[in-house]
Amino acid sequence: MNHEAKKRFGQNFLVDQNIIADIVRCIRPMPDDNMVEIGPGLGALTRPLLKTLNTLHVVEIDRDIIARLKTDYPQDKIVIHEGDALKFDFATLGVPLRIAGNLPYNISSPLLFHFANYAEGITDMHFMLQNEVVERMVAAHSTAAYGRLSVMLQYRFHMEKLLDVPPQSFRPAPKVDSAIVRMVPMSAQQIAVKDEALYAKVVASAFGQRRKTLRNTLRDYLAESDFARLDINPQLRAENLGVAEYTRIANFLLERAAPSP
C-alpha cells in the first residue's frame, strides 16, 4: 500500500539505504536500550533499529501510518504512542531514554525545546533536521549561523553534526539540505545556569533586535556599570557573546535580585 506524504505533517520519507545504514551506525542501538523514535513514517529507521532492539517505542500522529505500524511490525516489539510529539510526556517512557527520528522541519525548534524539558532523563538524541537548523544549533558565537537557538541549546547539550543528507535521499525530495545531529545532555553539575527562565528572558531580549547593541537590547536588565562589572562590552551585539557570557549575565541578575541575608 502506497502512502502519500502529507504536507500538514511535514512528511518527507527517507529512502536512501546507504544514508539509513550510516544513521543507524551513528545511533549504535543496543538490545536493551530504552529508545523512542519520533515519526517512524514508512519505517526507514524503524526496521533496522528493530533488528537490534528488543523493544522500540514510536510516537506518530498520522492515523494512516499508525495503521501500517500495527500490521507491519511484531506488536510484542513495537509500542505505538498515537499523538503529537509536541504534547507527549516523554517521562512516561522511563529513564534513561534514547530518542531518535526524522523530525518534521516545520516544527523542529519547538520539538527541540520540548525534548529539553526531559534532558535529565535522556542519554542521547539523534535527529534528522534541516541542515540550516543543525548549523544554527552547533554554531560558534560571532558567526552568521549563531543565534538564539544556539545559545538556548548549547548551555545544556553537547551537540555534534554527524552527516549531511541531500534532498534526493527522500521521497518526496525536500527543497532543502538535511543533516544528522547528535545531542547529549550535560549533567546537572555541568550546567552553570542557575535560573533557566531568567536565562531564557535575557537571551530572548538580546536577540530580539540583533542589529542593535547590547546596551540597547539589555537596557531593561543592565546599567552601564553592570556591563563594566561583568567585563562585557556594551557595544557588542547579541551574536558576539558566548554561552558563558549569557550565563554570567543571568547569574549576576539572579544574585542581585536575591534578598540580603
**In whole angstroms, what is the distance from residue 33 CA to residue 29 CA?**
7
Helix (H) or strand (E) holding 134: helix 131-138
Task: Identify whether residues 127 and 204 lie together within a single domain.
Answer: no
Residue 1, in any domain of the structure: no
Residue 190, in any domain of the structure: no
**In whole angstroms, what is the distance from residue 56 CA to residue 180 CA?**
20
Q: Are strands 78-82 and 56-60 parallel, antiparallel or unpaired?
A: parallel
pTM for this predicted structure: 0.93
Contacts by residues 83-89 (CB-CB < 8 Å, ≥ 24 positions apart): 83/59, 85/38, 85/39, 85/59, 85/61, 85/111, 85/114, 86/110, 86/111, 86/114, 88/59
Residue 136, in any domain of the structure: yes
Structural domain tally of the chain? 2
Residue 2, in any domain of the structure: no
For residue 222, the enclosing domain spans 196-257
**In whole angstroms, what is the distance from residue 148 CA to residue 134 CA?**
13
Task: Identify whether residues 61 and 158 lie together within a single domain.
Answer: yes
Could you read off the pLDDT tens digit of each residue along the chain, which spans 261 residues?
454 544 444 458 899 999 999 999 999 999 999 999 999 988 999 999 999 999 999 999 999 999 999 999 999 999 999 999 999 999 999 999 999 999 988 899 999 999 999 999 999 999 999 999 999 999 999 999 999 999 999 999 999 999 999 999 998 888 999 999 999 999 999 999 999 999 999 999 999 998 999 999 999 999 999 999 999 999 999 999 999 999 999 999 999 998 766
